[in-house]
Chains A and B, each alone.
Chain A
Amino acid sequence: GAVVSQHPSRVICKSGTSVKIECRSLDFQATTMFWYRQFPKQSLMLMATSNEGSKATYEQGVEKDKFLINHASLTLSTLTVTSAHPEDSSFYICSARRIGVNGNTIYFGEGSWLTVV
């Protein structure tokens, strides 16, 4: 079964409103999670690294005031798209890093489809 859960899987919002997407690690603690965006027929592009207890690290070109990331606990990171516009419509995917004795593993969530109308 899934080890990283995203919610909601689909969301439609009006232009100008904000929408929050949650990413949860289900059976492990994740001090680090990652947020990606994927436009149709394109690959995943890393937006930011979410760090528990500290500020997120954003990739170049990603507006931190528009894409607010909060890693409030060891199992939850949230991405809030503020003042959403139609061009923000995309597939947003999170991943979580699981640290194990045999190495680290990255698990992806199922993704969240955002449509801004």
Chain B
Amino acid sequence: QKEVEQDPGPLSVPEGAIVSLNCTYSNSAFQYFMWYRQYSRKGPELLMYTYSSGNKEDGRFTAQVDKSSKYISLFIRDSQPSDSATYLCAMSGAGGTSYGKLTFGQGTILTVHP
């Protein structure tokens, strides 16, 4: 079993839809949770960053972490064609050298069509 599970999709939605992306994990040591967006042949771009459980909102993006269920989500409101990319969840332990050693999900390919 992988430490981080993410449905690779692909996921196709119409413009304006609400997108829900999810990851589950098995390592209870993970304390930091991130969502990255990756365009084809480019490095990942940080979208959201959350420490421990809770919700965080930034513009059209909302990240949720439920540590009791080992489940994290990213919601994209009013999706745009420019949101079409691969979305990667990533996690890290806390403290010292653990922070920054990210374990990634497989990535979900999202296409938002006009």
Seen from chain A, the residues whose Cβ lies within 8 Å of a Cβ on chain B are 6, 32, 34, 41-46, 49, 51, 57, 91, 93, 95, 97, 103-111, 113
What's the Cα separation between A105 and B3 when bound, in Å?
A: 22
- Candidates A34, A91, A111; contact of B101 at CB < 8 Å: A34
A110 B42 Cβ-Cβ under 8 A = yes
Question: Which residues of B sit under 8 angstroms from A91, Cβ to Cβ?
Answer: 41
Residues on the A chain within 8 Å of B33, using CB: none
With a 10 A CB-CB cut-off, give which of B6, B36, B42, B105 has the most chain A CB atoms. Answer: B42
Distance (whole angstroms) from the CB of B31 to the closest CB of chain A: 12
Q: Is the CB of B100 within 8 A of A106?
A: yes
CB of A112 to closest CB in B, whole Å: 9
Contact of B99 among A45, A97, A113 (CB under 8 A): A97
CB-CB nearest in chain A for B99: A104
Contacts of A108 in B (CB 8 A): 36, 43-46
If A93-B43, A113-B41 are given as contacts, then 11 extra A-B residue pairs at C-beta distance below 8 Å, sorted by A number, are A32-B100, A43-B107, A45-B104, A46-B101, A95-B102, A103-B51, A104-B99, A105-B46, A106-B46, A106-B92, A106-B100
Chain A residues closer than 8 Å to B41, beta-carbon distance: 91, 111, 113
